[in-house]
Structure formats: C-alpha cells, structure tokens
C-alpha cells in the first residue's frame, strides 16, 4: 500500500543494509522467538515451517558466517541493498481490523480475518485471509478466555507477517496498555539469554515511563 523505494542501480542504497548484514555492522538480528515461531507452523499439507514467510524469506543463515540475518530487505539478489522500506501493507491493516473486532467481542469475524477471510458484510471485498494466503493451517476458536486467546493469535500472526518492518514494539505497547506492564516486560526480556540481563530488562519495562522516548517541550 505504501513504501519508500530504493534502487541500488540508481545509487539509492537502503540504509537498513548496514545494520542487518553479517558482513557489515550487524546490529540487528532475528530473535530466537521469531525463528521458532516460524519453524513450528504447520502447512495445509501437514509440512512444518512457514514456507512463504519464514527461513529464506524474512530471515536466513548467512552463507559465509552462518549467522542468522534479516533477509526481508535482500530477497532479490539482483536488488542487493535496494529493497523498499515498507510503510503500510494490506495484511497490516487487516490484522489491525481483526484486533479491533476482537476487542468489540466480534470473535468469529476477527478469527476469520486471520484464517480464510472476512466475507460476511455486503460489499466487503473478498480476501483469502492472512494464514490461508500463505497456506498455513487455520486457527480454531479458543475454548476459554476467548478475547485474550484470540489477541495472542493476532499478535503472533503480526509478529510473523510484519517481521522486521518496525511494528512489533508498538504492538506490544498497545496490548500492554490493556493487559498490564508484565505483558510487554515478559515479551521483551524473554529474548535475553543471560538471566541477569533478562531480569534487569523486565524490571525496567515494568515502569511505563520507560516505554517511551523522553520528550521535553
């Protein structure tokens, strides 16, 4: 829907390349959480892994160093460092709609957007659904704690669909404002393998004042 275009051939190099690639600054890499989340998905043909969004697409193993790298901005080898920066995509808007419908108690509608498309209202343009589009098994309606359970499904789907597009932090903050600081603190601290670092991050994020950049008028 909206993106900032870059073309390597025209000397318009995507600045994200420096922080993602293993042979450059390598400041940002995929977390174990997102790699594992992609790997445990089951396709509609009962195969394991998210074929259309996981390894080789959103992330990859660097061929020289073997390190995990963000691959979403270098999928096309002929456009090295020339991939667009995504601002908005249709799936982002659809998943936000699912989140809003879930908060309104429209659980079946929210789940249908995630699965195979929301088609009930007259005039609604037919879409395949987020998971059906990438040929993954569809999610079942939770048996209990329906609102929070569907919200968890939505947040997992957003993590995969919008991986490395700059949406995750804002998603976590938005949900934590509804469900409490421990939601955000737990999600972020879990990526640190050192228990002392994880604990320090968790405790810091339990204070909502640390969620936002300082602003002085």
**CA-to-CA distance for 70 and 78, rounded, in angstroms?**
17
Share of the chain above pLDDT 90, in %: 66
Q: Rounded to the nearest 5°, which phi and psi values hold at 73?
A: -100, 15
pTM value is 0.90
Mean pLDDT (whole number) for 202-217: 91
**What's the confidence (pLDDT) of residue 46?**
94
For residues 100 and 118, the answer to whether their CB atoms sit within 8 Å is no
Residue 77 in this model has a pLDDT that exceeds 70: no
Share of the chain above pLDDT 70, in %: 93
Q: What is the domain partition of the chain in residue ranges?
A: 1-83, 88-210
Q: How does pLDDT run across 133-191, given as a tens digit for each residue?
A: 999 999 999 999 999 999 999 999 999 999 999 999 999 999 999 999 999 999 999 99
Mean pLDDT (whole number) for 120-125: 64
**CA-to-CA distance for 20 and 95, rounded, in angstroms?**
26
């Amino acid at each position: 829907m909206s993106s900032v275009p870059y073309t390597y051939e025209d000397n318009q190099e995507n600045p994200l390349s420096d922080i993602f690639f293993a042979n450059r600054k390598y400041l940002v890499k995929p977390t174990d959480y997102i790699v594992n989340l992609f790997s445990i998905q089951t396709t509609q043909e009962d195969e394991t892994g998210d074929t259309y969004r996981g390894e080789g697409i959103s992330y990859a193993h660097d061929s020289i160093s073997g390190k995990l790298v963000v691959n979403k901005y270098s999928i096309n080898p002929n456009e090295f460092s020339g991939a667009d920066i995504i601002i908005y995509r249709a799936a982002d808007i659809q998943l936000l709609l699912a989140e809003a419908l879930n908060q309104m108690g429209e659980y079946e509608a929210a789940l249908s957007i995630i699965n195979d498309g929301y088609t009930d209202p007259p005039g609604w343009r037919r879409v395949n659904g987020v998971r059906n589009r990438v040929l993954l098994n569809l999610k079942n309606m939770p048996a209990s704690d329906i609102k929070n359970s569907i919200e968890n499904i939505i947040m997992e789907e957003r993590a995969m669909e919008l991986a490395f597009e700059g949406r995750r932090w804002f998603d976590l903050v938005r949900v934590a404002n509804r469900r409490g600081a421990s939601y955000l603190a737990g999600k972020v601290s879990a990526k640190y393998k050192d228990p002392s670092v994880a604990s320090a991050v968790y405790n810091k994020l339990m204070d909502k004042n640390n969620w936002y950049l300082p602003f002085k008028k």
